[in-house]
């Protein structure tokens, strides 16, 4: 019994240490900042914008294929709605700010009435465009999470998707028709601005 208790205590200590180390490493990376240089807040709503000067605007929803409700995440082609729709950026970790490499959930702060709520981003496989970023409603979803990483350009970032169990992550890019896709090529470089409104337009 004494041996079992010691072993159990040792195992619990090891598990606690590993959890602490993982949590610490996930929250001590550089904080992600917006265009104004302020740290992104955990649970805050932001516009995700492409590198200034790149054609197109922020991210929004579009109806594609056989969808009867807009479930496809796209880059807006219109300068009139350049900022796109606000995206809520959240992490399950109890941290006030979003750090690079932190496990994230991305969801539109608002969506059309026909769309699922919350309007969480998912990745769907087996589509003609490859692995596409969409709202819930498709069966062939890929289990995983998003995160934000520093790009090669100073003060700018890229969004990546990590498939659970795959051990690797891939950039989120934009297809030729504007859809957000997970790609083995270089993804789109983005910056963030605080959302001034959360209303669906």
- The whole-model pTM stands at 0.81
| Residue 26: its H or E element | helix 2-27
Mean pLDDT, the chain, integer: 83
147 class by beta-carbon count within 10 Å (0-12 exposed, 13-18 middle, 19+ buried): buried
What is the model's pLDDT at position 163? 95
Residues 92-116 have a mean pLDDT of 95
**pLDDT given for residue 16 in this prediction:** 41
Compare 24 and 133 and report the one with higher pLDDT. Answer: 133
Lowest-confidence segment of 22-36, 103-117, 135-149, 174-188 by average pLDDT: 22-36
Q: Which two tokens stand for residue 90?
A: 């959240």
Nearest CA to 123 out of 83, 159, 157 is that of 159
Mean per-residue pLDDT for 121-137?
95
pLDDT at 55: 65
Per residue in 30-41, pLDDT (tens digit) is 999 999 999 999
Q: Cα–Cα distance between 50 and 188 in angstroms, integer?
A: 7
In percent, the amount of the chain with pLDDT more than 70 equals 80
At residue 65, does pLDDT exceed 70?
yes
Is the pLDDT at 72 greater than 70, yes or no? Answer: yes
CA 173 vs. chain centroid, Å, equals: 12
Separation of alpha carbons 59 and 179, rounded Å: 9
What are the structural domains, with CATH classification, of the chain? Answer: 31-194 (2.80.10.50)
């Amino acid at each position: 019994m004494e041996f079992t208790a010691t072993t159990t205590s040792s195992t619990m200590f090891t598990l606690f240490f590993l959890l602490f180390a993982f949590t610490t490493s996930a929250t001590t990376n550089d904080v992600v900042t917006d265009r104004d240089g302020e740290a992104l807040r955990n649970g805050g709503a932001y516009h995700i914008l492409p590198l200034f000067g790149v054609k197109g605007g922020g991210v929004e929803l579009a109806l594609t294929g056989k969808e009867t409700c807009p479930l496809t995440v796209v880059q807006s082609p219109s300068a009139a709605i350049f900022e796109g729709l606000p995206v809520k950026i959240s992490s399950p970790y109890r941290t006030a700010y979003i750090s690079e490499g932190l496990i994230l959930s991305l969801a539109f702060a608002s969506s059309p009435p026909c769309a699922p709520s919350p309007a969480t981003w998912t990745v769907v496989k087996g589509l003609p465009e490859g692995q596409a970023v969409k709202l819930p409603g498709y069966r062939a979803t890929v289990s995983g999470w998003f995160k934000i990483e520093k790009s090669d350009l100073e003060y700018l970032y890229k969004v990546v998707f990590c498939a659970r169990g795959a051990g690797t992550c891939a950039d989120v890019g934009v297809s030729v028709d504007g859809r957000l896709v997970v790609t083995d090529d270089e993804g789109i470089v983005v910056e963030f601005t605080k959302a001034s409104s959360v209303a669906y337009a």
